[in-house]
């Protein structure tokens, strides 16, 4: 169900989406057909049960539940053909549905090569082709962010960064890291170990946005989550995925302002994964960040899986009083300005 509220934008106004995962951004019909074409055995009777299972619009078992759905969509996208079709469908669909004309798509190529069976280069190349095709057919500028994973070995994460470098002049614009923590949800991830990879990516003109500060706003002890976010800021990233933890820490907000690091907020995603208690808490968080001058943009995290649309995210934040209409419009302007996508 879409979050209701007065529209913030005219129907033909162009929007920018800076935080959307390929695994959650492709419409269920395309995903179903891809799965069928590739002969993937599915634990679903028909299209409808498949569509319901890959949409967490009615909530999920926290971030773990979300990651479980991701594993399945990643399997369907685990071939060059699957990645090509998925990227094309996502970018084209977002333009048709939301007039998204600046679009960053993120995905982990090493979760789409069937455990090393498929060549990583072929997977990234297919994504680049999907992007090019979409930009040919629609007036869109789009880019790819390659994701590392917190559960990967340093060697595998390095392999992802090498692919990002190899394709950095062909559509890959940034690196990111996500995925479950190897020691469980309560464990802390040592982001500082990523410094050599971050530096190497930067040397090749890539930008950096990391998932951090998404969990922990209701933790009994929020300090480890705050510490993780400081580590990411120490790496001088350009943007942060979520980062809502900063609403509860003055020092983090001061650093975000001073370093001019943009937070990519995905409100409905935070509600669906129960990272945030309810709409009221989400509104408090966004209000606190915005009124304290933290640069932020509004995103979906993956509209098909989360069960939302970018325009609905903006409208919801205005309806809740988290942002004024003008602040929401500013967020979209900022998203265009701070996108890593540059005309090639």
Q: Where does this chain bind Zn ion (CB under 5 A)?
A: 241, 301
Q: Minimum distance between the CB of residue 214 and Zn ion, rounded to whole angstroms? A: 8
Q: Minimum distance between the CB of residue 132 and Zn ion, rounded to whole angstroms? A: 24
Q: Minimum distance between the CB of residue 91 and Zn ion, rounded to whole angstroms? A: 17
With respect to Zn ion, which residue has the nearer C-beta, 106 or 118?
106
With respect to Zn ion, which residue has the nearer C-beta, 67 or 113?
67
Cβ-based neighbour number of residue 150 at 10 Å: 18
With beta carbons less than 8 A apart as the criterion, state whether 249 and 225 touch: no
- What are the angstrom distances between the C-alpha of 262 and each of 22, 24, 210, 221, 252? 21, 22, 11, 25, 12
Helix (H) or strand (E) holding 313: helix 310-319
With respect to Zn ion, which residue has the nearer C-beta, 228 or 301?
301
Helix (H) or strand (E) holding 224: helix 223-234
Q: Minimum distance between the CB of residue 10 and Zn ion, rounded to whole angstroms? A: 28
> Which residue's C-beta sits nearest to Zn ion?
301
3-state secondary structure of 98: helix
* Helices and strands in the chain, H and E counts: 14, 8
With beta carbons less than 8 A apart as the criterion, state whether 110 and 156 touch: yes
Q: Minimum distance between the CB of residue 19 and Zn ion, rounded to whole angstroms? A: 6
With respect to Zn ion, which residue has the nearer C-beta, 216 or 241?
241
Q: Could you give the CA distance from residue 260 to residue 337 in angstroms, rounded to a whole number?
A: 13
The one-character DSSP state at 3 is P
With respect to Zn ion, which residue has the nearer C-beta, 99 or 106?
106
Helix locations, 102-172, DSSP H: 120-137, 154-166
With beta carbons less than 8 A apart as the criterion, state whether 322 and 3 touch: no
With respect to Zn ion, which residue has the nearer C-beta, 20 or 125?
20
What distance, in Å, lies between the first and last C-alpha atoms of the chain?
Answer: 37
With respect to Zn ion, which residue has the nearer C-beta, 241 or 295?
241
Q: Minimum distance between the CB of residue 301 and Zn ion, rounded to whole angstroms? A: 5
Q: Could you give the CA distance from residue 179 to residue 55 in angstroms, rounded to a whole number?
A: 18
With respect to Zn ion, which residue has the nearer C-beta, 28 or 241?
241
User: Pairing mode, if any, of strands 296-298 and 172-178?
Assistant: unpaired
The one-character DSSP state at 78 is -
Cβ-based neighbour number of residue 132 at 10 Å: 17
Q: Minimum distance between the CB of residue 215 and Zn ion, rounded to whole angstroms? A: 12
With respect to Zn ion, which residue has the nearer C-beta, 86 or 125?
86
Tokens, residue 329:
């419009």
Q: Could you give the CA distance from residue 160 to residue 175 in angstroms, rounded to a whole number?
A: 9
β-bridge partners, 241: 211, 264
Q: Could you give the CA distance from residue 242 to residue 264 in angstroms, rounded to a whole number?
A: 5
Q: Minimum distance between the CB of residue 41 and Zn ion, rounded to whole angstroms? A: 28
Q: Minimum distance between the CB of residue 145 and Zn ion, rounded to whole angstroms? A: 10
């Amino acid at each position: 169900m879409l979050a209701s509220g007065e529209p913030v934008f005219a129907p033909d106004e162009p929007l920018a989406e800076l935080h959307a995962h390929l695994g959650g951004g492709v419409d269920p019909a395309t995903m179903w057909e891809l799965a069928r074409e590739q002969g993937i055995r599915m634990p679903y009777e028909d299209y409808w049960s498949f569509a319901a299972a890959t949409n967490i619009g009615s909530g999920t078992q926290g971030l773990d539940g979300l990651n479980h759905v991701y594993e399945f969509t990643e399997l369907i996208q685990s071939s060059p053909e699957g990645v090509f079709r998925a990227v094309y469908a996502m970018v084209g669909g977002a333009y048709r549905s939301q007039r998204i004309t600046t679009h960053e798509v993120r995905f982990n190529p090493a979760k789409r090569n069937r455990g090393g069976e498929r060549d990583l280069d072929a997977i990234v190349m297919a994504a680049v082709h999907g992007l090019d095709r979409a930009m040919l057919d629609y007036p869109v500028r789009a880019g790819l962010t390659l994701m590392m994973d917190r559960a990967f070995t340093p060697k595998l994460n390095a392999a992802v960064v090498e692919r990002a470098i190899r394709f950095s002049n062909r559509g890959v614009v940034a690196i990111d890291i996500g995925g479950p923590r190897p020691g469980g949800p309560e464990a802390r991830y040592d982001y500082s170990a990523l410094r050599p990879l971050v530096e190497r990516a930067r040397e090749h003109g890539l930008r950096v946005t990391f998932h951090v500060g998404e969990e922990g706003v209701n933790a009994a002890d929020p300090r480890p989550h705050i510490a993780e976010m400081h580590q990411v800021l120490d790496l001088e990233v350009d943007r942060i995925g979520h980062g809502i933890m900063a609403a509860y820490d003055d020092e983090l907000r001061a650093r975000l302002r001073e370093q001019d690091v943009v937070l990519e907020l995905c409100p409905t995603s935070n509600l669906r994964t129960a990272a945030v208690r309810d709409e009221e808490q989400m509104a408090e968080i966004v209000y606190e960040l915005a009124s304290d001058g933290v640069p932020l943009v509004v995103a979906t995290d993956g509209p098909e899986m989360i069960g939302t649309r970018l325009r609905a995210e903006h409208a919801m934040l205005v309806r809740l009083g988290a942002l004024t209409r003008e602040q929401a419009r500013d967020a979209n302007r900022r998203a265009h300005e701070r996108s890593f996508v540059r005309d090639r």
